[in-house]
Structure 1
Amino acid sequence: MPNPKGKPENLEPIKSDREKPLPEKLSFRVTKEMKEEVQQQDNPPEFCREAIQEKLDRNKGKSST
């Protein structure tokens, strides 16, 4: 009889080589065209993280001057 919880190795947390862990989730609505363009990227989640971080950094620069 198969294990109802799946394979034991699937229950282990994903290991990452990042400096900071990514424990939080964020979701938001986009147009169909935006979604399609993002999904065409090599690594869509990392693309979104980098785009958001760039904008946050730019806004920090504007507010500190």
Structure 2
Amino acid sequence: MPKSKGKPENFGNPESRDLTEQLNFRVTKEMKEAVKAKDDPPEFCRKAIQKALDEDES
């Protein structure tokens, strides 16, 4: 069975949007714990960043 890591269909993304890039940044310990407590931390971060980018464009 192939690994699901990085396949867009596993993250609810359109097939044309591959998840090939990584982004690293520092956060406080409290922020890290709060994000880790989410059901799907990577998807939570992607949505939060996209929301901030969308708001920034407006």
Tell whether the structures are fold-level matches, with TM greater than 0.5. Answer: yes
Paired residues, what number? 52
Letter in 1 for 2:48: A
Greater Cα radius of gyration, structure 1 or 2: 1
Cross-structure match for 1:54: 51
Q: Once superposed, which parts of structure 1, at least 4 consecutive aligned residues long, lie more than 3 Å away?
A: 12-16
1:16 and 1:37 map into 2 onto residues whose CA distance is: 25
1:55 and 1:49 map into 2 onto residues whose CA distance is: 10
Alignment match of 1:26 (pick from 23, 27, 31): 23
Gaps of 5+ in 2: none
Q: Percent identity?
A: 50
Question: Relative contact order: is structure 1 or structure 2 higher (C-alpha 8 Å, sep ≥ 6)?
Answer: 2
Q: How well do the aligned residues superpose, as a CA RMSD in angstroms?
A: 1.9
1:26 and 1:16 map into 2 onto residues whose CA distance is: 16
